[in-house]
Amino acid sequence: MKPMGAIPAEFLAPGPLRIAGRSAAEWIDAAGSSPVFVYDVGIATARVARFRAAMPPGLDLHYAIKANPAPPMIAALARLVDGLDVASGGELSLALAEKPAGRISFAGPGKRDAELEVAIIAGATINLESEGEAARAIAAGQRLCATPRLAVRVNPDMELRGSGMKMGGRASPFGVDADRVPALVRRIIKSGADWRGFHIFAGSQALSAEAIIDTQTETLALAGRLADDVGVMPPLVNLGGGFGIPYFPGDVALDVEAVGAALAERLAERAGSLAETRFAIELGRWLVGECGVYLTQVIDRKESRGETFLIVDGGLHHQLAASGNFGTVVKRNYPVAVAAAPYDAPTETVSVVGCLCTPLDRLADRVTLPIAQPGDIIAIFMAGAYGLTASPTAFLGHPQAAEITANVGQS
Ligand SMILES: *Cc1c(COP(=O)(O)O)cnc(C)c1O
């Protein structure tokens, strides 16, 4: 038997699982098919409220829509946050449907000229990832007789300790090496473009408040040094984010209140070169990861050499991360439940495997679950971020999963 992660508190009530007031079977009925992702906007709304209460006043919150770009989710969060961060031309058009361009920023390496042009015409901020991209954006602005809004993404000297995905302190396709940033900013200002400031993102999925506080401290110091060197105050400094969520056994939720208290202190003592600067934090996973549940029905149940397998109609083609194949080194179990099982149902040790013809498609490895039969619904939690759109949906030609966004009225 192997442990699994903790079920988010919002779904922990004893007895059959309820998501946004309905049972798993009712959601599959509502979708008309299984599997289905259900996202409870009420939970994401509560995360935004917790962020606002914890963080210093005046700090902007951006939603990084790649975490969950389902249009109703973007629409709901757009009403609650100050900005949307996008990472492709496709995401840019989704964001422009929900938020004024002045509140959208566009990061990511390898932006095509056509994407730069759409951003410039709309008036979205482009977070430049390289000097070459800066030159192409400035040239596009001249071609279009439009003033591009340009921020510089900095490849910082430090990384976010303990983060699942490190993005600083090394050679990187993301951002401009810190020592080359001041010269680039001077070129941008001289070109007549509207310089919007800095974007400094040092990592993702960190659960340690201390690590995030240290990174924010260093990020603020770096932004202060760069602003000093440039000699012009940056209108905005995007401090990155990296707030993680507890997926696995032993993970402890991030103490956001400690991060907010420390950030308030650091902002109060920031460099004079940042006196009038606005600051933003950009989050994806922490806002939406816990609000989603992936529901999939058991098709078959089999024994093999002493082990029991529940074979479901979903799999890694919808929820790659739960199979341990999306950015994790060691495969560990996401929280999983048998949706309709009573609180005191007898249990067994089983593996939940998807319907794909590959041994990679294991959604839960030797976990203790209530005994389930074909037709029963398995719930896989932590499915609100980097789920369907971060999975190889075309692999093996199975049907798409449905997505339902619930409690939209609450936002
Ligand atoms: C992916 C990404 C995010 C969101 O990361 P989360 O871990 O989901 O919060 C934020 N900013 C940038 C630049 C990103 O690439």
Q: Examine the domain organization and report whether 208 and 343 are in the same domain.
A: no
Residue 348 sits in a domain whose CATH number is: 2.40.37.10
Q: Which residue, 62, 159, 156, 155, is CA-closest to 109?
A: 155
Contact 192, 147 (CB under 8 A): yes
Ligand 1 atom 5 nearest Cα: 284
Q: Which residue, 359, 301, 371, 298, is CA-closest to 325?
A: 359
Q: Examine the domain organization and report whether 227 and 84 are in the same domain.
A: yes
- Is the shortest distance between the CB of 67 and ligand 1 below 6 Å? yes
- Is the shortest distance between the CB of 195 and ligand 1 below 6 Å? no
Ligand 1 atom 4 nearest Cα: 284
Q: Examine the domain organization and report whether 362 and 241 are in the same domain.
A: no
Ligand 1 atom 6 nearest Cα: 284
Does residue 373 lie in a domain region?
yes
> What one-character-per-residue DSSP string does 35-89 give?
SEEEEEHHHHHHHHHHHHHHSPTT-EEEEEGGG---HHHHHHHHTTSSEEEESSH
C-alpha span between 317 and 23 (Å, rounded)? 24
Residues 145, 291, 355, 357: which is the catalytic one? 357
Does residue 4 lie in a domain region?
no
CA of 245 to the centre of ligand 1 (A): 13
Which of 283, 313, 330 lies at the terminal end of a domain, its last residue? 283
Q: What tens digit of pLDDT does each residue of 128-165 get?
A: 999 999 999 999 999 999 999 999 999 998 777 766 65
71 residue type, one letter: P
User: Is 357 annotated in the active site?
Assistant: yes
Q: Examine the domain organization and report whether 346 and 233 are in the same domain.
A: no
Q: Examine the domain organization and report whether 259 and 294 are in the same domain.
A: no
- Is the shortest distance between the CB of 244 and ligand 1 below 6 Å? no
Q: E strands of 354-407, at which residues?
A: 362-370, 377-380, 402-406
353 residue type, one letter: V
The H helix count followed by the E strand count for the chain is 10, 21
Q: E strands of 274-380, at which residues?
A: 278-283, 292-304, 307-312, 336-338, 347-353, 362-370, 377-380
Q: Examine the domain organization and report whether 245 and 366 are in the same domain.
A: no
Host H or E run for residue 228: helix 209-230
Res 165: pLDDT: 59
C-alpha span between 322 and 111 (Å, rounded)? 30
Which of 283, 302, 336 lies at the terminal end of a domain, its last residue? 283
Contact 123, 102 (CB under 8 A): yes
Q: Which atom of ligand 1 is nearest to the CA of 165?
A: 7
Question: Which residues lie below 8 Å from residue 21, measured CB to CB, with a gap of 6+?
Answer: none
Res 411: pLDDT: 53
Q: Examine the domain organization and report whether 17 and 159 are in the same domain.
A: no
Q: Examine the domain organization and report whether 311 and 259 are in the same domain.
A: no
Total domains, the chain: 2
- End-to-end CA, the chain: 40
Tens-binned pLDDT, residue by residue, of the chain (411 aa)? 999 999 999 999 989 999 999 999 999 999 999 999 999 999 999 999 999 999 999 999 999 999 999 999 999 999 999 999 999 999 999 999 999 999 999 999 999 999 999 999 999 999 999 999 999 999 999 999 999 999 999 999 877 776 665 556 689 999 999 999 999 999 999 999 999 999 999 889 999 999 999 999 999 999 999 999 999 999 999 999 999 999 999 999 999 999 999 999 999 999 999 999 999 999 999 999 999 999 999 999 999 999 999 999 999 999 999 999 987 777 899 999 999 999 899 999 999 999 999 999 999 999 999 999 999 999 999 999 999 999 999 999 999 999 999 998 755
Residue 169 sits in a domain whose CATH number is: 3.20.20.10
Q: Examine the domain organization and report whether 119 and 234 are in the same domain.
A: yes
Q: Examine the domain organization and report whether 102 and 75 are in the same domain.
A: yes
Q: E strands of 200-254, at which residues?
A: 203-204, 236-238
C-alpha span between 151 and 105 (Å, rounded)? 9
- DSSP three-state, residue 160: coil
Does residue 378 lie in a domain region?
yes
Q: Residue 382 sits in which domain range?
A: 9-39+290-406
- Is the shortest distance between the CB of 241 and ligand 1 below 6 Å? yes
CA of 91 to the centre of ligand 1 (A): 13
Q: What tens digit of pLDDT does each residue of 309-345 get?
A: 999 999 999 999 999 998 777 789 999 999 999 989 9
Question: Which residues lie below 8 Å from residue 319, measured CB to CB, with a gap of 6+?
Answer: 294, 363, 380, 383, 387, 388, 391
Does residue 61 lie in a domain region?
no
Q: Examine the domain organization and report whether 225 and 335 are in the same domain.
A: no
C-alpha span between 196 and 177 (Å, rounded)? 18
Res 168: pLDDT: 62
Q: Examine the domain organization and report whether 321 and 338 are in the same domain.
A: yes
